[in-house]
Amino acid sequence: MVRIAGQRRRTDRPLVETTSAGGAIFRPNGKLFLLRKTNEKRWCLPKGGVEEGEQPEETALREIREETGLYCHLVGHLTDIHYKYYWSPDDVNFDKTVKYYLAEVVGGSVRLERGFDLYRWCSEKEALHLLHYENDRRVVRSAFKRLRGIRGSAGS
């Protein structure tokens, strides 16, 4: 789910831990799915908050479905990223962990959720160029590396 933008961390406010999960989604031609948040005009990977009673893998699949319209299979866990921001509706800082999974499309068709205005299937170079945050680029590098490993071993 995408909400209004957070702001720079406020050191006078409490820090609350929160976890999201998302996916680096590939289609069979080896291109990666990125989408752009309308409010910030920033490219990102699909993700969202882990709800009560949910496993992060379930969250990743649900958020991918909701945000992109795509049905995916999770190949495996890639990496976690961490960042902090001030969330004005609750007047707290969030200390967020996002768990990212390598995902393959198995069905559906792209239908962006409200809050996103563009999407693109990208090469590694294009994705690294479009993404705003270095930690997201780290996820993408590890996703392409993992994919090369899987495809290389499948071909040998």
- The binding site for ligand ATP (CB under 6 A) comprises 1-3, 5-6, 20, 40, 47-49, 81, 83, 85, 96, 133, 135-136
Q: Report in angstroms how near the CB of residue 120 gets to ligand ATP at its nearest.
A: 18
Question: How far, in Å, are 11, 66, 106 from residue 73 at the CA level?
Answer: 40, 15, 6
Closest approach of Cβ 46 to ligand ATP, in Å?
Answer: 8
Which residue is at the shortest CB distance from ligand ATP?
Answer: 6
| Nearer CB in complex with ligand ATP: 96/146 | 96
Number of helices and strands in the chain (H, E):
3, 7
> By C-beta, is 102 or 139 nearer to ligand ATP?
139
Nearest distance from C-beta of residue 153 to ligand ATP, angstroms: 30
Nearer to ligand ATP, 6 or 69 (CB): 6
- Please report which helix (H) or strand (E) contains residue 119, including its range: strand 116-122
87 exposure class (CB count in 10 Å sphere: 0-12, 13-18, 19+)? buried
Provide, rounded to whole angstroms, the least separation between the CB of residue 70 and ligand ATP.
16
Instruction: Return d(Cα 155, Cα 13) in angstroms, integer.
Output: 53
Nearer to ligand ATP, 55 or 151 (CB): 55
